[in-house]
Amino acid sequence: MKHTLPKLNLILIAVCFAIIVIGFALMVGAPSGEEYNPDIFSFRRITLGPMISLFGFVAMIVAILYRPKKK
């Protein structure tokens, strides 16, 4: 079965998907609930997680458009 994308592109897409999942996992945490929880404004949830997810989405575009050099 022939794929539209080469094997290298599929591997890069899988890696980018894992990076996106890690970014979303970093944004998850305990809910605020009835009482105020200041952890909802932590650096990990507000800055680090979204930046990693954004990097994963941009890398996904590059992984899809990447064309290996022909020999």
Averaged pLDDT in 10-residue chunks for the chain of 71 residues:
85 97 92 79 94 98 90 76
pLDDT at residue 70 in the model:
80
Helix, strand, or coil here: 2?
A: coil
Closest CA to 45 of 18, 19, 23: 23
Position 62 scores a pLDDT of 96
Backbone angles phi, psi at 51, to 5 degrees: -65, -40
Which pLDDT does position 5 carry in this prediction?
85
Q: Is 37 helix (H, G, I), strand (E, B) or coil?
A: coil
pLDDT score of 65: 94
pTM of the full predicted structure?
0.86
pLDDT at position 52 is 98
